[in-house]
């Protein structure tokens, strides 16, 4: 039953703009489970930024992702709920870093009251560029999702980015 709920959450959380996109989105994304609002979290890097953003935003987002860990957050609200964007944390090697939200849609800083059907999209920035070769976690309140990239995924991030 739990696997069915997670599969349903993944289906609900995938942005419509990503349907048919490169496998990089799938490789670098996870669903942060939550009873109220499951969030699709995508690690921003040279592979995912061009799939999510267009010029000129593409260039600024790529630069931000090279300077500090950034995550794209997206969902469609399935029931009226509240989302507190001030309590995201990134954890790696026993250290915890607070996230700072930047809104694209319904992701401003603070406690947001969301209604059925609202689209949520934004970027979380963290004060440190983490080591993607090591596992890390994203926490939001009591909810948590773990990221562990494969050796091939880490190598792909170290490769020169394609020109866009």
Q: 118 lies in a domain?
A: yes
> How far is it, in rounded angstroms, from Cα 88 to Cα 119?
19
Asked if residue 4 has pLDDT above 50, the reply is no
Q: 158 lies in a domain?
A: no
Whole-number pLDDT of residue 161: 55
- Give Cα 162 to chain centroid, integer Å: 22
Helix, strand, coil share of the chain (percent; to 5): 25, 35, 40
Whole-number pLDDT of residue 22: 74
* Average confidence score pLDDT of the chain: 87
Query: What torsion do the CA atoms of 49, 55, 59, 65 make, to the nearest 10 degrees?
Result: -20
SS3 86: coil
Q: 156 lies in a domain?
A: no
pLDDT band at 8 (very low <50, low <70, confident <90, very high): very low
Whole-number pLDDT of residue 162: 55
Asked if residue 17 has pLDDT above 80, the reply is no
The CA-atom distances, in angstroms, between 67 and each of 35, 45, 157 are 33, 11, 14
pLDDT band at 36 (very low <50, low <70, confident <90, very high): confident
Asked if residue 14 has pLDDT above 80, the reply is no
Q: 74 lies in a domain?
A: yes
Asked if residue 141 has pLDDT above 70, the reply is yes
Whole-number pLDDT of residue 160: 64
C-alpha R_g of the chain: 15
The whole-number average pLDDT for the span 86-114 is 97
pLDDT band at 30 (very low <50, low <70, confident <90, very high): very high
Structural domain total, the chain: 1
Q: 97 lies in a domain?
A: yes
Q: What is the pLDDT of residues 117-135, one digit of tens each?
A: 999 999 999 999 999 999 9
The whole-number average pLDDT for the span 156-162 is 72
Q: 155 lies in a domain?
A: no
The residue range of the domain holding 62 is: 2-141
Q: 43 lies in a domain?
A: yes
Whole-number pLDDT of residue 23: 84
Which tokens belong to 151?
A: 């050796």
pTM for this model (two decimals): 0.84
> How far is it, in rounded angstroms, from Cα 89 to Cα 99?
6
Q: 119 lies in a domain?
A: yes
> How far is it, in rounded angstroms, from Cα 61 to Cα 45?
9
- Which CATH number fits the domain that encloses residue 50? 2.60.40
């Amino acid at each position: 039953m739990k696997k069915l709920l997670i599969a349903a959450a993944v289906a609900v959380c995938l942005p419509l703009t990503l349907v048919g996109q490169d496998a990089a989105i799938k490789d670098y994304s996870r669903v942060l489970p939550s009873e109220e609002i499951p969030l699709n979290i995508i690690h921003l890097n040279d592979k995912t930024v061009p799939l999510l953003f267009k010029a000129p935003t593409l260039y600024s987002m790529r630069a931000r992702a090279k300077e500090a860990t950034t995550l794209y957050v997206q969902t469609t609200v399935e029931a009226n709920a509240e989302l507190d964007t001030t309590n995201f944390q990134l954890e790696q090697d026993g250290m915890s870093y607070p996230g700072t939200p930047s809104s694209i849609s319904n992701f401003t800083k603070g406690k947001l009251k969301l209604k059925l059907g609202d689209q949520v999209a934004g970027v979380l920035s963290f004060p440190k560029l983490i080591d993607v070769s090591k596992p890390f976690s994203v926490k939001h309140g009591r909810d948590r999702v773990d990221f562990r990239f494969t050796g091939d995924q880490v190598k792909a991030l170290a490769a020169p980015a394609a020109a866009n």
